[in-house]
Chains A and B, each alone.
Chain A
Amino acid sequence: MRGARKILGYQLRDIARNRWVIGYAAILLLLTEALFQLGGDGGRVVLSLLNLVLIFVPLVALSFGTLYLYNAREFIELLLAQPVGRGAMFAGLWGGLALPLSTALLAGVGLPFLFRAGSTTIPARSLLVLLGTGVMLTLTFTAIAFLISLRFEDRARGFGLALLVWLGCAVVYDGLVLLVVTIFSRWPLETPLLVLTLLNPLDLGRVVLLLDFDVAALMGYTGAVFQRFLGTALGLGIAGLALVLWTALPLLLGARRFRRRDF
Chain B
Amino acid sequence: MNAITARGVSKRFGRLEVLRQVDLEIPAGRITGLVGPNAAGKSTFIKSVLGLVRPDAGELQVLGQLVNGDERYRARIGYMPQAAHFPENLSGAEVLAMIRDLRGPGVASDTALLDGFDLGPQLDKPIRTLSGGTRQKLSAALAFLFRPDLLILDEPTAGLDPIASGIFKEQLAAVRERGASILLASHTLSELEAHADDIVFLLDGRIRFHGPVTQLMERTGFANLERAVAALMQGGAA
Tell me the A residues contacting B by CB distance below 8 Å: 3, 6-7, 10-11, 13-15, 17-18, 72-75, 77-85, 260, 262-263
CA distance A74 to B47 in the complex (A): 13
Q: Which residue from A10, A17, A85 sits with its C-beta under 8 Å from B98?
A: A10
Question: Which 4 A-B residue pairs are closest in the complex by CB-CB distance?
Answer: A74-B85, A17-B89, A14-B87, A83-B75
**Bound Cα distance A72, B79 (Å):** 17
Task: Let me know if A81 and B89 touch, CB within 8 A.
Answer: no
Q: Is the CB of B88 within 8 A of A3?
A: no
**With A and B bound together, what is the CA distance between A85 and B87 in angstroms?**
20
Chain A interface mostly: helix
Chain A's nearest CB lies how many Å from the CB of B94? 7
Candidates A6, A81, A83, A85; contact of B52 at CB < 8 Å? A81
Q: Please name the residue on chain A nearest to B73 by beta carbon.
A: A83
Across the interface, do A77 and B99 meet the contact criterion of CB distance under 8 Å? no
B161 to chain A, nearest CB (A): 22
Contact call A78/B79, Cβ cutoff below 8 A: yes
Chain B stretch 1-30: residues in CB contact (< 8 A) with chain A: 13
Give Cα A85 to B71, complex, Å.
Answer: 6
Contact call B89/A83, Cβ cutoff below 8 A: no
Q: How far is the CB of B84 from chain A (nearest CB, A)?
A: 8
Interface footprint category on B: 20 to 34
When chains A and B are docked, how far (Å) is the Cα of A44 from the Cα of B53? 54
Chain A residues with CB below 8 A from B74, complex form = 81-84
Contact pattern, B 51-90, Cβ under 8 Å of A = 1, otherwise 0: 1111000000000000000011111010101011111111
Of the candidate stretches B101-109, B177-185, B208-216, the one touching chain A is B101-109
A77 surroundings in chain B (CB, below 8 A): 52, 81
Known: A80-B52, A82-B74. A74 touches B83 (CB 8 A): yes
Assembled-state Cα–Cα distance A80/B74 (Å): 9
Q: A79-B102, A83-B103 are in contact. List 15 more A-B contacts (CB 8 A).
A: A3-B102, A6-B102, A10-B90, A14-B89, A72-B87, A74-B81, A77-B52, A78-B85, A82-B74, A82-B103, A83-B71, A83-B74, A84-B74, A84-B102, A85-B71
- Taking CB atoms, residues of chain B closer than 8 Å to A263 are 47, 52-53
| Minimum distance in angstroms from B73 CB to a CB of chain A | 8
Is the CB of B50 closer than 8 A to any CB of chain A?
A: yes
Q: Which residues of A contact B47 (CB under 8 A)?
A: 262-263
Known contacts A13-B90, A13-B94, A263-B52; decide if A84 and B71 are in contact (CB<8 Å).
yes
A122 to B94, CA, bound (A): 42
Provide a sorted-by-A list of 27 A–B residue pairs whose CB atoms are within 8 angstroms: A6-B98, A6-B102, A7-B102, A11-B87, A14-B88, A17-B89, A17-B126, A18-B88, A18-B89, A74-B83, A74-B85, A75-B85, A80-B52, A81-B51, A82-B75, A82-B99, A82-B103, A83-B71, A83-B73, A83-B74, A83-B75, A83-B102, A84-B71, A84-B74, A84-B102, A262-B47, A262-B54
B15 to A: closest C-beta gap in Å: 15
Within 8 Å CB of B88, what residues of A? 14, 18
Q: Are B52 and A10 in contact (CB under 8 A)?
A: no
Whether A262 contacts B52 in the complex (CB less than 8 A), given A10-B87, A17-B89, comes out as: yes
Question: Given A83-B75, A85-B71, A6–B89 Cβ distance below 8 Å?
Answer: no
- Which chain A positions have C-beta within 8 A of B83? 74
Measured between alpha carbons, how far is A13 from B93 in the docked complex, in Å?
13
Contact of B94 with A10 in the complex, beta carbons under 8 Å: yes
Is B89 a contact of A13 with CB atoms below 8 Å? yes
Find chain B residues with CB under 8 A from A73 CB. Answer: 85
Contact present for B51 and A262 (CB under 8 Å):
no
Distance to closest chain B CB from A74 (angstroms)? 4
CA distance A158 to B164 in the complex (A): 39
Tell me the bound Cα distance from A10 to B51 in angstroms: 23
Q: What separation, in Å, do the CA atoms of A3 and B74 have in the docked complex?
A: 14
Measured CB to CB, the nearest residue on chain A to B76 is: A83
Most buried by B among A17, A73, A78, A84: A78
Would you give the shortest CB distance from B46 to chain A, in whole angstroms?
10
